Amino acid sequence: MAEISAAAVKALRERTGLPMMECKKALLESGGDEAVAVEWLRKQNIKTQETRLGRETSAGRLAIYTDGKVGAMIELQCESAPVANSPDFIAFAADIAKQLATGPGAATPDELLKQPSSDKKFATLGERKDDMFNRIREVFNLSRVVRFDGPSAGYVHHSGDIAALVAYEGGDGTVAKDVAMHVTAISPQVVSKEDVDPTAIDKEREILSEGARKEGKPENIIVKMVEGRLKNFFAERVLLEQPFVKDDKQTVGAMTKKAGVKIKKFVRWQIGKA
């Protein structure tokens, strides 16, 4: 069996971030060859991950990347808040979002993890994820990815657990970013009234009409009353009908129209919630 020096163990530990005893064992198993030891550790890492697959990943971080031409948002989950708030985790989430935006795109998280990592120590994002597991020993799960081709703006809450990505036309992105912040805070369901399910509108109109009749209102007044009360229904669900969070004296629709900005679509996510 090869003699393993303290210097070799130290060098492998600096390269991998793993405990000294694990590094020494890897070098012993690989006859002192550092490259082979790294591969041995990677295989052991995969086995360890398989034993922890059922662990809950309720913490994590959302990350967004936009460059005026494309926008991307990803959800990277882990087991604990301290890890989610660590510099390594935050940087990794940001790099995944950037690769999704600036690379060829990806329909699934697994497809994205096969793409190159900005950290040249790793060939792919997946290898980098495995390395983080090996060092931190928490399960990491890239659970959701979305990309908008075209001008996009995003907003991530300072805690990293709520975020929104908005696709738009017109303007320099400033207004769209304010809209993304509004979406994060208020959580609308759709962009415009035309996007609301007509069946839901009919049902709400029926409920409001019945309520007005119970109030004893005459039929010729009920129609006008119902249409007026439907404004609240739309304001709860429709982005453009909601009072703008930074200036509730105008709606989001009025604010964006004045700025010459058209909101095309949006996605709002919260860590661990569909």
Q: Is residue 238 part of a domain?
A: yes
Evaluate whether residue 67 is within a structural domain.
yes
Tokens of 25: 């064992």
Cα–Cα distance for residue pair 227/217, rounded to 1 Å: 14
pLDDT for position 52? 58
Domain total of the chain = 3
Structure token pair of residue 198: 């007509």
The rounded distance, in Å, linking the Cα atoms of 62 and 71 is 13
**Residue 244 resides in a domain:** yes
| Beta strands at 70-78 and 59-66: parallel, antiparallel or unpaired | antiparallel
Report the CATH number at residue 154.
Answer: 3.30.479.20
How far apart are the C-alpha atoms of 252 and 224, rounded to whole Å?
24
Residue 200 lies in a domain: yes
Q: Is residue 41 part of a domain?
A: yes
Q: Is 64:71 a contact under the CB 8 Å cutoff?
A: yes
- 1 is a domain residue: no
Provide the 10 A C-beta neighbour count for residue 45.
Answer: 19
For residues 25 and 71, membership in a common domain is answered with no
Domain that holds residue 33: 6-51
Buried-state track 166-197, b at ≥16 Cβ within 10 A, e below 16: bbbeebebebbbbbbbbbbebebebbeeeebe
181 shares a domain with 74: yes
> Within this chain, do residues 93 and 162 fall inside the same structural domain, yes or no?
yes
Alpha-carbon distance of 92 to 90, in angstroms, equals 5
Q: Do residue 129 and residue 202 come from a single domain?
A: no
Residues 70 and 143 in one domain: yes
Contact 201, 214 (CB under 8 A): no
Give the predicted TM-score (pTM) of the model. 0.78
One-letter amino acid for residue 3 of the chain = E
Write the single-letter amino acid at 80: S
Q: What is the pLDDT of residue 160?
A: 95
* Judgement on whether residues 68 and 168 belong to the same structural domain of the protein: yes
Is the same domain home to 118 and 159? Answer: yes
Answer yes or no: do 205 and 175 share one domain: no
Check residue 215 and give its pLDDT. 80
End-to-end CA distance of the chain: 53
Asked if 150 and 72 sit in the same domain, the reply is yes
Same domain assignment for residues 232 and 120:
no
Per-residue pLDDT for the chain (274 aa), expressed as one digit of tens each?
A: 567 888 887 887 777 767 777 778 878 888 888 888 877 777 776 655 555 555 667 899 999 999 989 999 999 999 999 999 999 999 999 999 999 999 999 999 999 999 999 888 888 999 899 888 877 878 889 999 999 999 999 999 999 999 999 999 999 899 999 999 999 999 999 999 999 999 999 898 888 888 778 787 777 778 778 888 888 899 999 999 999 999 999 999 999 999 999 999 999 999 988 6
Provide the 10 A C-beta neighbour count for residue 240. 22
CATH code for the domain in which residue 31 is found: 1.10.8.10
User: Could you tell me if 70 and 157 lie in one domain?
Assistant: yes
46 plus 63 within the same structural domain:
no
Domain assignment present for 39: yes
Residue 243 lies in a domain: yes
pLDDT (0 to 100) of residue 222: 80
